Structure 1
Amino acid sequence: MRITKAIKEEMLSILEEHYRGTSTALEYSSPFELLIAVVLSAQCTDKRVNIITARLFQEYNTPDKIWSMGQEKLEEYIRDCGLFHSKARNIMATCEILCRDYDGQVPETFDQLITLPGVGRKTANVVISQLFNIPAIAVDTHVFRVSNRLKLATGETPLAVEEKLMKAIPKSKWSDAHHWLIWHGRNVCKARKPLCHTCPLSQLCPSKEM
């Protein structure tokens, strides 16, 4: 099945109709809290991250507070999060940089964000999009899977998929479409057992009934 530009536009229209107004499932009350939550979300569900940050941010919700607690204590707080050793190390290093170079504030540009330990393209794109209204597409596991299954944007790496999505989707809708794809991946186009029989895109999808 050849996926034409017209079919891609129809797919996006259907996704927008079903997921319009969706946003991140991560809970936060400041730019710094979102940054830390996204770092923690790597190989961890948003539901689990919200449990972890609810207890962490009660007392430690700024770069200086987390930096002062020390890595060992931070690890105790985030132990039930995947890769907690490396995440704690990166968070501590990031907090030190934020305190030293940014007066405790989260930088507002992609290039500045990706210099922070533990902050890659996905995290930086989430932050600039969610906090600073800069058009961006963050490719997480859901976006990667759904984009490839629909052939909306195919690629073997998140970067390849991101670049193709940027061509397939109008720039004004990059940030919104990122959420449409995430929620579709969570609710319908699941990794192991996609719900093709209830999918609003089933008539257009080249991978239905996998």
Structure 2
Amino acid sequence: MTISHLIATLQKATFSMPRPAAELIIQKYGKDPFLILISCILSLRTTDAISYAASIRLFELARNPQQMVAISEEKIAACIFPVGFYRKKAYTIRHISFVLLKQCEQTVVLKSGQLLALPGVGRKTANLVLGYAYNIPAICVDTHVQRISNRLGLVQTKNPAETEEALKKIIPKKHWIELNSLLVMWGQNICRPQSPKCSECPLATFCPKIGVTKSR
């Protein structure tokens, strides 16, 4: 199975699947780096349905750093509940907003690749913002990308950092941004962590099913 075949198959198979929360945010608000960043933070350790709903509630109150710092941490926490670690995320969201205001030029800061310097922002979040907000090629490695890439035998890695570097060597740069979206949808619907739906998978013929002990 070639990489081109893999990508084309996933594009076709996921066409009618529910889109990831980050894409829904873009559909509703456009490619606003701040909103994409905040929605990504809310999505960590939380299902898409819950994080998307929380994002919408929060963005009804504030859509930029100035508006966000005007809201108390307690009010943000109450608004985003029940996302995972909602109290910690409320603190992080206000902290990020203060940092961006202090730096005055929020767009330049985000676009210059200094996302990792922001509190609570790791490579997964930074790469997602760079890709979705600015169309800068970046591979966002979450649990779905980590699991499926190894399950398919594309990589043999133990952590997201290793996976990102390994995938960069085999995935054409033009597919870096969409790779996360494709594998997230595939992981949520077909290639699940436990008992994946191999009988419904168009990749089953080519997949070595590494680590799979039980499937449907």
TM-score by length of 1: 0.88
1:109 aligns with 2:87: no
RMSD: 2.1
1:136 alignment partner, SS class: coil
Q: State the shift of 1:209 in Å.
A: 6.5
Q: Distance in 2 between matches of 1:172 and 1:12?
A: 11
Q: Distance in 2 between matches of 1:44 and 1:133?
A: 25
1:69 alignment partner, SS class: coil
Q: State the shift of 1:63 in Å.
A: 0.9
1:25 aligns with 2:51: no
1:139 alignment partner, SS class: coil
Q: Distance in 2 between matches of 1:152 and 1:13?
A: 16
Q: State the shift of 1:103 in Å.
A: 3.7
Highest relative contact order (Cα 8 Å, sep 6+), 1 or 2?
1
Q: Distance in 2 between matches of 1:186 and 1:194?
A: 10
1:140 maps to which of 139, 142, 165: 142
Q: Distance in 2 between matches of 1:89 and 1:137?
A: 27
Aligned length: 204
Q: State the shift of 1:201 in Å.
A: 0.5
Structure 1, gaps ≥5 residues long? 1-5
Q: State the shift of 1:25 in Å.
A: 2.8
Q: 1:167 to 1:16 in 2, by over 3 A?
A: farther
Q: 1:55 to 1:71 in 2, by over 3 A?
A: same
Q: Distance in 2 between matches of 1:109 and 1:18?
A: 35
2:6 maps to which of 5, 11, 14: 11
Q: Say whether the 8 Å CA contact 1:188–1:198 is kept in structure 2.
A: yes
Q: Distance in 1 between matches of 2:72 and 2:120?
A: 17
Q: Distance in 2 between matches of 1:68 and 1:159?
A: 36
Q: Say whether the 8 Å CA contact 2:21–2:51 is kept in structure 1.
A: no
More helix by share: 2
Over the matched positions of the two proteins, sequence identity in percent amounts to: 35
1:85 alignment partner, SS class: helix
Aligned residue in 2 for 1:3? none
Q: State the shift of 1:175 in Å.
A: 0.9
The code of the aligned residue for 2:37 comes to L
Q: Distance in 1 between matches of 2:33 and 2:3?
A: 33
Q: State the shift of 1:127 in Å.
A: 0.5
TM-score by length of 2: 0.86
Structure 2, gaps ≥5 residues long? none
2:152 maps to which of 150, 153, 161: 150
1:170 aligns with 2:172: yes
1:122 aligns with 2:118: no
Q: State the shift of 1:84 in Å.
A: 1.2
